[in-house]
Amino acid sequence: MITHFILNGLDRRAGIVVALLVAIAILVPVLNLVVPPSSPFHVPGYTLALFGKYLCYALLALSLDLVWGYCGILSLGHGAFFALGGYAMGMYLMRQIGPRGVYGDPVLPDFMVFLNYQELPWFWHGFDMFWFAAIMVVVVPGLLAFVFGWFAFRSRVTGVYLSIITQAMTFALLLAFFRNDMGLGGNNGLTDFKDILGFNVQSAETRSGLFAATALSLALSFWICSSVVRSKAGKVLIAVRDAESRTRFIGYRVEHYKLFVWTLSAMMAGVAGALYVPQVGIINPSEFDPANSIEAVIWVAVGGRGTLIGPIIGAVLVNFGKTWFTAALPEVWLFALGALFVLVTLFLPKGIVGTVQLAAASWRERRAAAPAAVALDPKPAE
Amino acid sequence: MSKTRDLLAALVIRLTFVVALFAAVLMPAAAQSTDAELKLLVDALAARGFSETEDAIKALAFTGDDRVAAVLGALGEGNLFVGKTSKQVVIGRAAGRDLVLTDPVTRAEIGTEPSAAYTKIRVNNRLRRTIQAAIGTLTLLSDNPVTRRAAAEAVMKTRDPETIPALDAAIAEETDAGILQVMQEARAAAVLNSDAAEADKVAAIATIAGRGDRESLSILTQYIAAPGEVGVAAQAAVDDVNTTIALWNAGQNIWFGVSLGSVLLLAAIGLAITFGVMGVINMAHGEMVMIGAYTTFVVQQQIRMYAPGLFDFSLLIALPLAFLVAGAIGVAIERGVIRFLYGRPLETLLATWGISLILQQAVRSRFGAQNQQVGNPSWMSGSFDVGLISITYSRLWIVVFAIFVFFALMALLKRTPFGLQTRAVTANRQMASAMGIRTPWIDAMTFGLGSGVAGIAGVALSQIENVSPNLGQGYIIDSFMVVVFGGVGNLWGTLVGALTLGIANKFLEPYAGAVLGKIFVLVFIILFIQKRPRGLFALKGRSIEA
Amino acid sequence: MSSNGTIRKFTTGALAGMLAATALMTAGSALAQEETIKVGILHSLSGTMAISETTLKDVMLMLIEQQNEKGGLLGKKLEAVVVDPASDWPLFAEKARELISQNGVAAVFGCWTSVSRKSVLPVFEELNSVLFYPVQYEGEESQRNVFYTGAAPNQQAIPAVDYLEAEEGVERWVLAGTDYVYPRTTNKILEAYLLAKGVAPEDIMINYTPFGHSDWQTIVSDIKAFGSAGKKTAVVSTINGDANVPFYKELGNQGIKAEDIPVVAFSVGEEELAGIDTTPLVGHLAAWNYFQSVEDPINDEFIAAWKAYKGKDTAVTNDPMEAHYIGFNMWVKAVEAAGTTDSDAVIDALVGVAVPNLSGGYSSMGPNHHITKPVLIGEIQDDGQFEIVSQTPGLVLGDEWSDYLEGSKDLISDWRKPLACGNFNVVTGKCGGAS
Domain limits of chain B?
2-129, 139-226, 249-469
Share of chain A above pLDDT 90, in %: 53
Residue C245's domain comprises: 157-265
**C411 contact residues in A (CB cutoff 8 A):** 102-103
Strands C107-110 and C131-133: parallel
- What value, to the nearest 5°, has the Cα angle with vertex A343 and ends A341 and A344? 65
Find residue C265's DSSP bridge partners: C237, C286
CB-CB contact of A282 with A16 (8 Å):
no
Size of interface A-C (CB pairs under 8 A): 188
DSSP string, C291-359: -TT---HHHHHHHHHHHHHHT-TT----HHHHHHHHHHHHHHHHHHHHTS--HHHHHHHHTT-EEE-TT
Judged by CB atoms closer than 8 Å, whether chains meet at B467 and C210 is answered as no
Strands C263-265 and C204-209: unpaired
C293 touches chain B (CB under 8 A): no
In a domain, residue C110? The reply is no
Complex-level ipTM beyond the 0.85 threshold:
yes
In a domain, residue C143? The reply is no
Given this model, what pLDDT does residue B4 score? 54
Using alpha carbons, list the distances in angstroms from residue C231 to B133, B159, C161, C175, C217: 18, 13, 16, 16, 23
Given this model, what pLDDT does residue A376 score? 44
Helix segments in A281-376, DSSP class H: 290-303, 309-328, 333-347, 351-369
User: Comparing C-alpha atoms, which of C294, C310, C227 is closest to residue C263?
Assistant: C227
CB-CB contact of B152 with B182 (8 Å):
yes
CB-CB contact of C104 with C35 (8 Å):
no
What does chain B come to in residues? 546
Q: Which of A164-173, A345-354, B484-493, C273-282 bottoms out in mean pLDDT, i.e. has the lowest?
A: C273-282
pLDDT average, residue stretch A275-280: 94
CB-CB contact of B128 with C259 (8 Å):
yes
Percentages of chain B per state (helix, strand, coil), in multiples of 5: 70, 5, 20
Helix or strand (DSSP H, E) at B93: strand B89-95
> CA-CA distance, B278 to B295, in Å (whole number)?
26
Instruction: List subunits contacting chain A, requiring 3 or more Cβ pairs under 8 Å.
Output: B, C
Residue B240 carries which side chain, given as an amino acid letter? D
Question: Residues 121 to 150 of C: which have CB under 8 A from any B CB?
Answer: none
Instruction: List subunits contacting chain B, requiring 3 or more Cβ pairs under 8 Å.
Output: A, C
Shortest Cα–Cα distance, A355 to chain C (Å): 11
Residue C288 carries which side chain, given as an amino acid letter? W
**Strands annotated E in B296-409:** 383-386, 389-392
Q: Is the pTM of this model over 0.90?
A: no
Phi-psi map region of B513: left, alpha, beta (phi>0 left; psi -120 to 50 alpha): left
Domain limits of chain A?
62-200+224-345, 348-382
Helix segments in C205-284, DSSP class H: 217-226, 244-253, 270-273
CB-CB contact of A21 with A214 (8 Å):
no
Shortest Cα–Cα distance, A282 to chain C (Å): 6
Of all residues in chain B, the one with the smallest CA distance to A297 is B350
B18 touches chain A (CB under 8 A): no
Cα B172–chain centre separation: 37
User: Comparing C-alpha atoms, which of B48, B120, B38 is closest to residue B84?
Assistant: B120
Round the CA-based radius of gyration of chain C to a whole number and report it: 23
In a domain, residue C102? The reply is no
Helix segments in B368-490, DSSP class H: 393-415, 417-427, 429-434, 439-461, 473-486
Helix segments in C33-156, DSSP class H: 50-69, 89-97, 114-127
> CA-CA distance, C377 to C291, in Å (whole number)?
9
In a domain, residue C194? The reply is yes
> CA-CA distance, B392 to B95, in Å (whole number)?
33
> CA-CA distance, A148 to A170, in Å (whole number)?
12
Q: How many CA atoms lie within 13 A of C134 on its CB side?
A: 28
CB-CB contact of B475 with B267 (8 Å):
yes
pLDDT at A199 over 50: yes
CB-CB contact of A228 with A264 (8 Å):
yes
Judged by CB atoms closer than 8 Å, whether chains meet at B125 and C272 is answered as no
User: Comparing C-alpha atoms, which of C262, C204, C215, C213 is closest to residue C239?
Assistant: C213
Of all residues in chain A, the one with the smallest CA distance to C141 is A102
Q: Which residues contact B202 (CB under 8 A, 6 or more apart)?
A: B229, B230, B233
DSSP B538: P
Q: Which of B343, B519, B526 is opposite residue A175, by nearest beta carbon?
A: B519
**A331 contact residues in B (CB cutoff 8 A):** 365
What sign does the CA torsion over A48, A50, A55, A60 have? positive
Q: Which residues contact C225 (CB under 8 A, 6 or more apart)?
A: B214, B245
B537 touches chain A (CB under 8 A): no
Question: Residues 56 to 95 of C: which have CB under 8 A from any B CB?
Answer: none
A39 touches chain C (CB under 8 A): no
> CA-CA distance, B230 to B241, in Å (whole number)?
16
Question: Cis bond leading into C85, ω under 30°?
Answer: no
Q: Which residues contact A192 (CB under 8 A, 6 or more apart)?
A: A97, A101, A110, C118, C121, C122, C434
In a domain, residue C57? The reply is no
Each residue's pLDDT, cut to its tens digit, for chain C (435 residues) gives 344 445 455 455 555 555 555 554 544 444 444 579 999 999 999 888 888 899 999 999 999 999 999 999 999 999 999 999 988 888 999 999 999 999 999 999 999 988 899 999 989 998 999 999 999 998 888 999 999 999 999 999 999 999 999 888 899 999 999 888 889 889 989 999 999 999 999 999 999 888 778 889 889 988 988 988 878 899 999 998 778 888 888 888 887 888 889 999 998 888 888 777 788 888 899 999 999 999 889 999 999 999 999 998 888 999 999 999 999 999 999 999 999 999 999 999 999 999 999 998 899 999 999 999 999 999 998 888 998 888 888 899 999 998 888 878 888 899 988 888 888 888 888 887 543
**C82 contact residues in A (CB cutoff 8 A):** 330
User: Comparing C-alpha atoms, which of B474, B485, B455 is closest to residue C215?
Assistant: B474
C84 touches chain A (CB under 8 A): yes
C309 touches chain A (CB under 8 A): no
Helix or strand (DSSP H, E) at B348: helix B345-367
Judged by CB atoms closer than 8 Å, whether chains meet at B132 and C283 is answered as no
Judged by CB atoms closer than 8 Å, whether chains meet at C210 and B221 is answered as no
Shortest Cα–Cα distance, C250 to chain A (Å): 23
Helix or strand (DSSP H, E) at B268: helix B228-271
> For the purposes of burial, counting CB atoms within 10 Å of the CB of A295, is it exposed (0-12), middle (13-18) or buried (19 or more)?
buried
In a domain, residue C28? The reply is no
Question: Residues 226 to 285 of C: which have CB under 8 A from any B CB?
Answer: 227-231, 242, 245-246, 249-250, 252-255, 258-259, 262, 271-272, 274-277, 280, 283, 285
Question: Residues 317 to 346 of B: which have CB under 8 A from any A CB?
Answer: 337, 340-341, 343-346
B430 touches chain C (CB under 8 A): no
Helix or strand (DSSP H, E) at B101: strand B98-102
Question: Cis bond leading into A330, ω under 30°?
Answer: no
CB-CB contact of B300 with B369 (8 Å):
no
> CA-CA distance, B28 to B22, in Å (whole number)?
10
B274 touches chain A (CB under 8 A): no
Judged by CB atoms closer than 8 Å, whether chains meet at A326 and C83 is answered as yes
User: Comparing C-alpha atoms, which of B521, B459, B536 is closest to residue B491?
Assistant: B536
pLDDT digits (tens, 9 = 90+) for B497-530: 999 999 999 989 888 888 888 899 999 999 998 8
Q: Which of C253, C254, C277 is opposite residue B375, by nearest beta carbon?
A: C277
Shortest Cα–Cα distance, C356 to chain A (Å): 32
In a domain, residue C381? The reply is no
Shortest Cα–Cα distance, B408 to chain C (Å): 26
Given this model, what pLDDT does residue A382 score? 37
- pLDDT mean for each 10 residues of chain B (546 residues): 54 54 45 75 82 86 82 85 85 82 85 83 84 85 85 84 86 87 89 86 87 82 83 88 86 91 92 81 92 95 89 92 96 92 79 92 88 85 82 91 94 92 84 90 92 94 87 88 85 92 90 86 91 78 45
